[in-house]
Amino acid sequence: MELKNLYREIVNEHNLHPVHKGDIEDPDMILNGVNPSCGDDIYLQLKFDENGNVSEGSFNGSGCAISQASADMMLDLIIGLPKEEALEKAEIFMGMVRGTVDEEKIEELDEAASLADIAHMPARVKCATLGWKTMQRMLRDGENEKK
Amino acid sequence: MNINEIRKDFKILADPAYVYFDNAATSQRPEQVLEAMDAFSRTMNANPLRGLYEWSIKATDAYEDARAKTAAFVGADDPSEIVFVRNATEALNLVAFSYGLEFLKEGDEILITVMEHHSNILPWQMVCRKTGAVLKFIEPKEDGTITEEMLKEAVTEKTKLIGMGLVSNVLGVRNPVEKAAELVHKNGGVIVVDGAQSAPHMKTDVKAYGADFFSFSGHKMLGPMGIGGLYARHDLLEKMPPFLSGGEMIEYVKRDSATYAEVPHKFEAGTVNASGAVGLAAAIEYLENIGFDAIEEQEKKVTKIVYEGLKSLPHVHVYGNPDPEKHSGIVTFNIDGCHPHDISSVLDTEHIAIRAGHHCAQPLMEFMQEKLSMEFRATARASMYFYNTEEEAERFVEAVSKVRGWLGF
């Protein structure tokens, strides 16, 4: 998709009117993710139910439209999923921007699949992956800044 | 200056669809530079300064001619005051590792401006860590100006080194290096003038600046990447220890000691970038043929259109001096609600190349964010050179006027 169309059809909406931006009440995990070279700076907040599924999630902070939209789309996708499945989605997303997973897999990302072309823009890959990497650090590595 | 004739020398500019406004990052190369480098490789390539045969002698002559041309270009007395390096970053590191570590000591102060490029910050942080010297910053006014009074206040009797870009790569403002030189010389200290952004755009005169050191990069002034220069006063080079050591910089080597080659070879360890130096010399010749008066005139015309055009757009904030003639071809701006990276990405879809981000000047971004309430700690930057046209400037302004629409506002 031509970049301007990608912005118009998908990114702008998530950037300007994000569904998941803000704070959730009493999150279980909070983590800061930054891209020092861009100034992208987000706080991801997650809450889990008794089965370990992601029950609520949100992000806060500032950054470019792609970093913000990607985080919003990620939360759309992972809320309601067990941790393991959320991590699988992150793996697919990382593979997508590296160009190492096939189309069929990419479809599992729903709307986030629209960011596939970011793979051709090395300078923007970091923006697109910020939210996903932050989630990986939380769910896979157990990093948590919640006091 | 006939702009259409000049543009024919730059094949990469032939396609009118593309507007290249990222000249502060790197400039384009004319055919004359490419041909000179090609001729070196095709007719005289051999290791200079060593071989006792025809090609090596020719290569040596070409390399040393390039040094003489570079010395004259910056206004040095003698070619031996030019050390060829990879780029301005290496030049500044050479001064820090050689002069800084040798001659600065605990309690001395190093003064730099908050608008320096990282390459004129990190080497001094290193010197301070190793010697116990203290790094101090001078902050400009909101429009980027540093006045004589501000300098006088910042320079103390302990100030032994001042590092100052002649032209800021973000604001395009020219700094008062002459005044700074005068003040630091009273302390028996030195001034390191970073000319990476000035040398492409204005006549360089290290003597008039009072510069003890002057760094610049070839690739920002029509030359190839990988060659740059350090001007340094001869007496300083004589007493400074080598930065790198090895081949080509020695006189005698014994098993446990060595004596060094004469200045400037003492600072050029290893096989040199001779074809790069030849390219740089061709670039200098090209610039001198056009002349800096004509270069500045064209840049001012184009910069004025960009500056005033952006100023007139709603939601666009332009930084730096209110006089576009004081921008050295650089116009830095932001657009409400739009991250600079998004601005650059959507302009790229119009084939317009600009820089976006922190411009290797994070302390300045932090300063601007605080003082000017910038939304992001980053800016977009258009930087023009003499081969850019007024039509390109108009097309650029037109495109910027649409950015907010493209980003959904």
Indicate the range of A34-38, B267-271, B391-395 predicted with least confidence: A34-38
- Does B196 lie in the same domain as B99? yes
The mean pLDDT of chain B is 97
Query: What pLDDT, on a 0 to 100 scale, did the predictor assign at position B314?
Result: 98
When CB atoms are compared, the residue of A3, A62, A123 closest to B349 is A3
| Domain CATH for B327 | 3.90.1150.10
- Does B383 lie in the same domain as B255? no
Contacts of A2 in chain B (CB under 8 A): 349
- By residue range, what is the domain housing residue B122? 32-288
Q: Enumerate the domain spans of chain A.
A: 3-139
Task: State which of B263, B288, B313 marks the end of a domain.
Answer: B288
Residue at B60: amino acid letter:
T
The mean per-residue pLDDT over the stretch B8-26 comes to 97
Is the distance from CB of B108 to CB of B188 less than 8 angstroms?
no
Task: Determine which one of B360, B365, B384, B400 is catalytic.
Answer: B360
Residue B227 has pLDDT above 80, yes or no: yes
- Find the DSSP H helices in A20-101: 65-78, 83-98
ipTM for this prediction: 0.93
- Does B234 lie in the same domain as B111? yes
Instruction: Quote the percentage of chain B above a pLDDT of 70.
Output: 100
Query: What pLDDT, on a 0 to 100 scale, did the predictor assign at position B165?
Result: 98
- Does B233 lie in the same domain as B84? yes
| Domain CATH for B193 | 3.40.640.10
- Does B361 lie in the same domain as B308? yes
When CB atoms are compared, the residue of B342, B375, B378 closest to A65 is B342
CB atoms within 10 A of CB B297: 12
Contacts of B406 in chain A (CB under 8 A): 4, 7-8
- Does B161 lie in the same domain as B41? yes
Is the distance from CB of A125 to CB of A76 less than 8 angstroms?
no
Tell me how many residue pairs between chain A and chain B have CB atoms under 8 A apart: 58
Contacts of A39 in chain B (CB under 8 A): 339, 357-358, 365, 376-378
Beta carbons of A39 and B407 less than 8 Å apart: no
Write out the two tokens for B64: 């040393």
Residue B197 has pLDDT above 90, yes or no: yes
Beta carbons of B341 and A15 less than 8 Å apart: no
Partner B contacted by A6 (CB < 8 A): no
Give dist(CA B339, CA A62) in Å, integer. 9
Query: What pLDDT, on a 0 to 100 scale, did the predictor assign at position B55?
Result: 95
Query: What pLDDT, on a 0 to 100 scale, did the predictor assign at position B249?
Result: 87
**How confident is residue B51, by pLDDT bands cut at 50, 70 and 90?**
confident
Q: Are strands A54-62 and A40-48 parallel, antiparallel or unpaired?
A: antiparallel
Residue B248 has pLDDT above 90, yes or no: no
Residue B290 has pLDDT above 90, yes or no: yes
Beta carbons of A65 and B407 less than 8 Å apart: yes
Contacts of B25 in chain A (CB under 8 A): none
Q: Find the angle CA(B316)-CA(B319)-CA(B324) to the nearest 5 degrees.
A: 100
Closest CA to A73 of A35, A120, A113, A33: A113
Q: How far is B346 from chain A (nearest CA, A)?
A: 6
Give dist(CA B64, CA B393) in Å, integer. 40
- Does B274 lie in the same domain as B192? yes
Residue at B164: amino acid letter:
M
Is the distance from CB of A130 to CB of A70 less than 8 angstroms?
yes
Closest CA to B226 of B33, B384, B61, B22: B33
Query: What pLDDT, on a 0 to 100 scale, did the predictor assign at position A117?
Result: 85
Beta carbons of A37 and B357 less than 8 Å apart: yes
Beta carbons of A7 and B406 less than 8 Å apart: yes
Query: What pLDDT, on a 0 to 100 scale, did the predictor assign at position A37?
Result: 77
Radius of gyration of chain A (CA): 14
Residue B50 has pLDDT above 90, yes or no: no
Partner B contacted by A50 (CB < 8 A): no
- Does B105 lie in the same domain as B241? yes
Query: What pLDDT, on a 0 to 100 scale, did the predictor assign at position A118?
Result: 84
Q: Which residues of B touch A (CB under 8 A)?
A: 337-342, 345-346, 348-349, 357-358, 365, 375-378, 406-409
Residue B403 has pLDDT above 90, yes or no: yes
- Does B344 lie in the same domain as B277? no
Q: Residue B18: how many CA atoms within 13 Å on its side-chain side?
A: 12
Residue B237 has pLDDT above 80, yes or no: yes
Partner B contacted by A115 (CB < 8 A): no
Is the distance from CB of B201 to CB of B167 less than 8 angstroms?
yes
Contacts of A62 in chain B (CB under 8 A): 375-376
Is the distance from CB of B28 to CB of B12 less than 8 angstroms?
yes
Task: State which of B255, B288, B321 marks the end of a domain.
Answer: B288
- Does B132 lie in the same domain as B78? yes
Helix (H) or strand (E) holding B110: strand B109-113
pLDDT digits (tens, 9 = 90+) for B207-225: 999 999 999 999 999 999 9
Q: Which residues on neighbouring strands pair with residue B318, listed in sequence order?
A: B333
pLDDT digits (tens, 9 = 90+) for A86-137: 999 999 999 999 889 999 999 999 999 999 988 778 889 999 999 999 999 9
Give dist(CA B28, CA B10) in Å, integer. 7
Beta carbons of B406 and A64 less than 8 Å apart: no
Residue B49 has pLDDT above 90, yes or no: no
φ/ψ (deg, to 5) at B150: -60, -40
Is the distance from CB of A47 to CB of A24 less than 8 angstroms?
yes
- Does B252 lie in the same domain as B222? yes
pLDDT digits (tens, 9 = 90+) for A31-50: 999 988 777 899 999 999 99
pLDDT digits (tens, 9 = 90+) for B339-366: 999 999 999 999 999 999 999 999 999 9
Q: Which residues contact B344 (CB under 8 A, 6 or more apart)?
A: B354, B355, B356, B380
Query: What pLDDT, on a 0 to 100 scale, did the predictor assign at position B315?
Result: 98
- Does B225 lie in the same domain as B143? yes
What is the architecture, at CATH level 2, of domain A3-139?
Alpha-Beta Complex (3.90)
- How many domains is chain B partitioned into structurally? 2
Query: What pLDDT, on a 0 to 100 scale, did the predictor assign at position B161?
Result: 98
Contacts of A9 in chain B (CB under 8 A): none
Q: Is B338 a catalytic residue?
A: no
Beta carbons of B341 and A66 less than 8 Å apart: yes
Partner B contacted by A10 (CB < 8 A): no
The mean per-residue pLDDT over the stretch B63-89 comes to 98
Q: Are strands B109-113 and B134-138 parallel, antiparallel or unpaired?
A: parallel
pLDDT digits (tens, 9 = 90+) for B178-194: 999 999 999 999 999 99
Query: What pLDDT, on a 0 to 100 scale, did the predictor assign at position B2?
Result: 94
Query: What pLDDT, on a 0 to 100 scale, did the predictor assign at position A34?
Result: 94
Query: What pLDDT, on a 0 to 100 scale, did the predictor assign at position B355?
Result: 96
